[in-house]
Structure 1
Amino acid sequence: MLKKRSLSFYLLLIFFCLFVLFLYGPIIAIVLLSLQGPDGQLMFPVRSFGVYWLGQVFQEQRVGNFVEPFKRSLTLGLLVTAIAIAVSVPAAMAFRSRFRGASVILYLTIASLIVPSVLVSLGIGILFQVMGWPTNWFSSGLGAHLTWTVPFAFLIMLGVFNRFDPSYEEAARDLGASGVKTFQEIVLPLIAPSLIGITILGFTLSYDEFTRTSLVSGQDNTLPLEVFGMTTNVTSPALYALGTLTTIFSFAMIAIAYSGYRIYSQRQRGG
C-alpha cells in the first residue's frame, strides 16, 4: 500500500516546484522565443516556430556581431582556466606547510573577491594607463578575469588539501617514489574531481564576466560586453537565440567534463 503523505510534504513539494520554475522559467521563455520563424518578435505570443533566428546568430547583426566576441570569450575562458589550475594547485599545496606571510596572502586573496568588481576593473585600467600599455581583451582583460577566477580556484583547492591525508604520499615515498611520481600517481588522481570542478567554474566565471572587463577590454568586446551593447540596438529574437545556444554550450561543457571524469575513473580502476 502507498504510504500516505502529510500535508507538509505537499507544501514542500509545491515550494520546490516553484523554486525550480523560478530558476529555469527565464531559460525556458528564452528558448521558446528563440524558436521562431522570420516573423518572430521579442515577446509572446509566438507567431510561428522555426530555427531561423538560431542561424541568424552567426550572421552580421545591425550593430556588431556575435561570432568574433564569442571567439574572444572562448579563448579567454580556456586560457584563464588553464592559468587558474596551474596557479591554484601548487599554491594550495604550499599552504599545507606553515610559512611566514601565509595569512597575509590568504587575506589578500579573499580581499580580491570582496572588492567591488568595477573598482578592480578601474584599477587595472589605471595601471595600464600609467605604465603606457594599451588595454585590450587579451592582456588587461585576461588580468581582470584572473583576479576573479584564481582566488576561487585557490580557495577550493585549499579546502581540498586541508582534508587530504598525507599518509598516502608518505607511503609512496617509503616505496621509493619521487616527488613527481607521487604527485602523478597519488595526488593527481585523488584531486581530479576537484580539478574538473575548478575547470567548469573557472571557465564559466570567465565566459560570463562583464563588470571586471567593462573598462579594460579596449576596442574589441567579449561576448557579454557585445550582448550588453546590442540590447539597445538589436530588436530581434537573435539575442534570445544566442541565449539558447549559450545554454546548450554550457550544458555541453558540463557533459564533456562529466564524461571525461567517468572515463578517467574507469581507467584508474582498470589500471
Structure 2
Amino acid sequence: MQTAKKPFSYYLLAGFFGLFVLFLYGSMFAVFILSLQGPEGSLTFPMKGFSFYWLGQVFQQQRVGNFVDAFWRSLFLGLLVSIITVTISVMSGLAFRDRFKGSTALFYLAISSLIVPSILISLGIGIVFSLLDLSNDWYTSALGGHLTWSLPFAFLIMLGIFGRFNPAYEEAARDLGASEMTTFWQVVFPLIASSVIGVGLLGFTLSYDEFTRTSLISGETNTLPLEIFGMTTNVTSPALYALGTLTTLFSFGLIAISIFAIQLLSDRQTKPKQ
C-alpha cells in the first residue's frame, strides 16, 4: 500500500517547529555544554577541555556571595509557598462550588494581583512590613510576595478541577453514613490528589524562580535568583553555567518525582481492592 505524499506545507511547518524548539532550548544546551569545561574554561565558545570541575565549584565559597546558602533559602521558601498554596487553593475551590454573597467580588479580588505590575506589589508589601517594623523578617515578607503570585493561579486551577467534579461521589458517601471530613479525605481528596500535586509543583516553581516580587522585600538576604543576578557582575567563570545546569537538573528531578507520585496514585485508584 503506497502512502500518500506529504504536502510541502507539512515540511514547512515541521521546519518552523524545529526552529521554535531550537530557540526555546538552544540556549539551555549551550549553558550545559559550557558548564562542562576544564579549569581554564571561559564564558564563551570554544570549550577549553572537558571536566566536571565547575560543577564542584558551585558548592565552594565564591569571591562574592554564596550559591549554597541562597539555594537552601529558596528551597525552604518554595516548599512553604507550595504547602500554603495547596491548602488555601483547595479550600477556596471547595468554597466556590456554591454561589454565596460577594463571591463575584471576592473572585476578582483574588486574581487582581495577576493584573497589577509585580514591582508595585513588592513595593507595597515592602512598605507595609517596614511600617509594621517587620522589615528584618524577610521570610514573612517574601512569603507574602510569592503568595500573591502563586495563589491566583492555583485558585483558578482548583476552580476548574472542582467545576468538573461529579458531586454524586460525595452524595453516595453521605448516603452510606460518612461525615463531611471522612467524605473529603476518603472520596474527594483521592480523586483530586494528582491535581493537588500539580498545583503544589506549580506553587514551588513560581516561588523558586521568582525575582521581581522578591527584589524589594528580601532585604540583605538573597534568594537564589537574586544571588545569581547579583553575581553576574563579578563572577566571570563557568560556575554560573554550572549552577544553571544543576538547578535545571534539580527542576527535572522534581518533575520526575511528581510524575511518579501521580502515577502511583493513579495505579492505587485503578487497582481492585482485595
Using structure 2 for the length normalisation, give the TM-score: 0.96
Which residue of structure 1 aligns with residue 220 of structure 2?
A: 219
Which residue of structure 2 aligns with residue 65 of structure 1?
A: 66
CA contact (8 A) 1:118 1:211 kept: yes
Residue 100 to residue 135, structure 1, CA distance change in 2 (3 Å) = farther
**What does 1:39-118 align with in structure 2 at a 5 Å threshold?**
39-118=40-119
Is 1:260 matched up with 2:261?
Answer: yes
**Helix, strand or coil for the counterpart of 2:139?**
coil
Between 1:205-214 and 1:95-104, the stretch displaced more is 95-104
CA contact (8 A) 1:77 1:204 kept: yes
**Helix, strand or coil for the counterpart of 2:138?**
coil
Which amino acid is 1:144 matched to? G
Residue 113 to residue 135, structure 1, CA distance change in 2 (3 Å) = farther
**Helix, strand or coil for the counterpart of 1:138?**
helix
CA contact (8 A) 1:136 1:216 kept: no
**Helix, strand or coil for the counterpart of 1:43?**
coil
Shift of 1:103: 1.1
Identity %: 63
Which residue of structure 2 aligns with residue 36 of structure 1?
A: 37
Between 1:196-205 and 1:67-76, the stretch displaced more is 196-205
Which amino acid is 2:112 matched to? A
List gaps (5 residues or longer) in structure 1. Answer: none
CA contact (8 A) 2:194 2:265 kept: no
Shift of 1:199: 1.4
Which amino acid is 1:53 matched to? W
Shift of 1:269: 2.2
CA distance in 1 between counterparts of 2:118 and 2:137 reads 17
CA distance in 1 between counterparts of 2:138 and 2:8 reads 55
Shift of 1:48: 0.9
Shift of 1:92: 1.0
Shift of 1:234: 0.4
Which residue of structure 1 aligns with residue 27 of structure 2?
A: 26
